[in-house]
Structure 1
Amino acid sequence: MSKQIVGVVGAGVMGVGVAQALAQSGFHVLLLDISNELLEHAKEEISNNLRFQRMFNKGQQQESIPLIIERITFVTDYAPFADADFVIENVTEKWEIKKQVHERLNEVCADHCVFAANTSAISITRLGSLHRDPTHVLGMHFMNPVPQKNTVEVIRGYHTSAETIETAQNLLKAMGKEGIVVNDMPGFVSNRVLMLTVNEAIYLVQDQVAAAADVDKIFRECFGHKMGPLETADLIGLDTILYSVEVLYESYSDSKYRPCPLLRKMVDAGLYGRKNGQGFYAY
């Protein structure tokens, strides 16, 4: 697709990664969050990530960091999104927050705009119901860290059109990524399996079956996983894990998705993982 304007809502870990990957691919990006302080932190994070990438790609021709950053406009107001051709929403995994964001996007954005929810569990069909044209709404579940992960779970809602899927696939292709299309059920494929695994691994620690490091070591050394489930939980953020498991529990009314009490206790204690320096491991 032509290098159009892409709006990115949310300047957290995922939003920063999405904005960076888009800008590196030549897109003009509008990165939105609620305060200039958060946006300044996001700009610093993107600059640091780009410098880190350059260290690992020495000898390769690379664009200058200022040129990439120039493609990102940092905003605290939805008004500029009237010019967006595509919007990727990355706010926290709570329905009430996502609902407010999508209702505002529906008011501001142009009729042709495509809306992608970067969610790990929330129904795309339900989000589509907030838009005047639900055929333009789909899910794009990026993996963390976004610039380094080349595969994206693309979710087709009940009303999502073939044209919308094609537009999303073309955008991903321009970013050097492949989209795998799945149908809309809470958790989709990746998190319907992953969140159960992580939640059960936390039960293992709670029940004193094994220490966190040993649980992860078994998955790395016995199954060849690059990361164990608790390392993965720290990377994603334990608060995000809890929100996702809660959505699955509510959606399916199935006890197998009951959040582990230790997970809830850690989130209540502010132990979120890498994002704030302490989870199952110290960072």
Structure 2
Amino acid sequence: MAIARVGIVGSGIMGAGIAEVAAKAGHEVVLRSRQQATAEAMVAGLEKSLAKQVDKGRLDADERDAVLGRVTATHQIGDLADCDLVIESVVEDLAVKQALFAELDQVVKPEAILATNTSTLPVVEMAVATERPDQVVGVHFFNPAPMMALVEVIAPLTASAETLEAVTAFATACGKDPVQVKDRAGFIVNALLFPYLNNAVRMLENGTASRDDIDAAMKGGCNFPMGPLALLDLVGLDTSLAILDALHAEFADPNYSAAPALRRMVAAGHLGRKSGLGFHDYRR
């Protein structure tokens, strides 16, 4: 099916980023948050992002206005009814997502595709919460969505070939590089990435090296754009802990068993950039 109108559910950084990507690609976008003020704040954030791009010469003013003209903010879930594709990007909690998918299933037109931006959770568990499991798929954008080229298209056992083809075509039309992956916890990137990040925390815990030296070594030795502890702060320590717990629950691999220091930092509210304090201090 052709995807023209896209709904985004969730008012966080990822939801706003995906909305920008879709609107730039020419899609009509409906941004839905539980409160109208929050939805409108997302549009204001998008406007600010586009203004910066105009200032830097990456976007002209006419294109900025056209992109903003394709975006609508709402708190009414019923406003998603005519969307061809709805992507949820709410909290990484399976019960919350299942309830949302069941609600979307009753609201959105029968031929529409429902997608989750989950980075780890089993997509099939959301698919079976609906009466259209063949039209439910994972479409995992990476943060920041406007800049990161990769999109993981996750295929649960229930998804039809037509659904996967349509979502892959959507990602390509948005200028992304889609890869298809089976519905296993962590998919490709997080399944490989998080043992590395977790072991960096263990290394810091064990006193092998300092925070700054661990980050500097991986940047200088592996040509990574940022060190593992800085990357954990960017992802969010609470999100990272949730990913590790989901991976460990599925595979029981000790590499996925979260380092105690990470769990204690989350308990203390030290969540990284989002809270101002994580392995690094962002309050200055």
TM norm structure 2: 0.93
Q: Does 1:135 align with 2:144?
A: no
Q: Which amino acid aligns with 2:139?
A: M
How big is the shift at 1:48? 2.1
Q: Which amino acid aligns with 2:172?
A: K
Distance 2:271 2:41 in 1: 18
Distance 1:256 1:222 in 2: 22
Distance 1:180 1:19 in 2: 20
Residue matched to 2:73? 74
Residue matched to 1:211? 210
Q: Does 1:39 align with 2:39?
A: yes
Question: Per-residue CA shift, 1:208-234, capped at 9, x if unaligned?
Answer: 222222111111100111122122111
Where do 4+ consecutive residues of structure 1 move more than 6 Å?
none
Contact (CA 8 Å) 1:9, 1:89: kept in 2 or not?
A: yes
Distance 2:44 2:280 in 1: 25
How big is the shift at 1:62? 5.5
Question: Per-residue CA shift, 1:180-220, capped at 9, x if unaligned?
Answer: 11111111111111121111111222222222221111111
Contact (CA 8 Å) 1:143, 1:152: kept in 2 or not?
A: yes
Residue matched to 1:175? 174
Distance 2:161 2:92 in 1: 26
* Superposition CA RMSD, Å: 1.8
Distance 1:189 1:271 in 2: 27
Q: Which amino acid aligns with 1:8?
A: I
SS at match of 2:279: coil
Residue matched to 1:9? 9
Residue matched to 1:276? 275
Residue matched to 1:202? 201
Cα 1:132–1:228 change in 2 (3 A) is same
Residue matched to 1:97? 96
How big is the shift at 1:2? 5.3
SS at match of 1:147: coil
Deviates more, 1:66-75 or 1:196-205: 66-75
Question: Per-residue CA shift, 1:110-168, capped at 9, x if unaligned?
Answer: 11111111111111122211121211111111111101112211111101111111111
Distance 1:221 1:257 in 2: 25
Distance 2:264 2:83 in 1: 40
Q: Which amino acid aligns with 2:6?
A: V
Distance 1:249 1:144 in 2: 23
Q: Which amino acid aligns with 2:29?
A: V
Question: Per-residue CA shift, 1:64-87, capped at 9, x if unaligned?
Answer: 434322221111121111111001
Aligned pair count reads 282
SS at match of 1:80: helix
Deviates more, 1:181-190 or 1:1-10: 1-10
Distance 2:226 2:20 in 1: 24
Distance 1:275 1:43 in 2: 20
Deviates more, 1:123-132 or 1:65-74: 65-74
SS at match of 1:8: strand
Q: Which amino acid aligns with 1:245?
A: L
Distance 2:156 2:172 in 1: 21
Deviates more, 1:69-78 or 1:136-145: 69-78
Cα 1:36–1:277 change in 2 (3 A) is farther
Distance 2:155 2:78 in 1: 28
Residue matched to 2:20? 20
Distance 2:162 2:85 in 1: 13
Distance 2:210 2:154 in 1: 36
Distance 1:67 1:51 in 2: 13
Distance 1:233 1:148 in 2: 18
TM norm structure 1: 0.93
How big is the shift at 1:175? 0.8
Cα 1:201–1:37 change in 2 (3 A) is farther
How big is the shift at 1:103? 1.2
Distance 2:126 2:115 in 1: 10
Contact (CA 8 Å) 1:92, 1:240: kept in 2 or not?
A: no
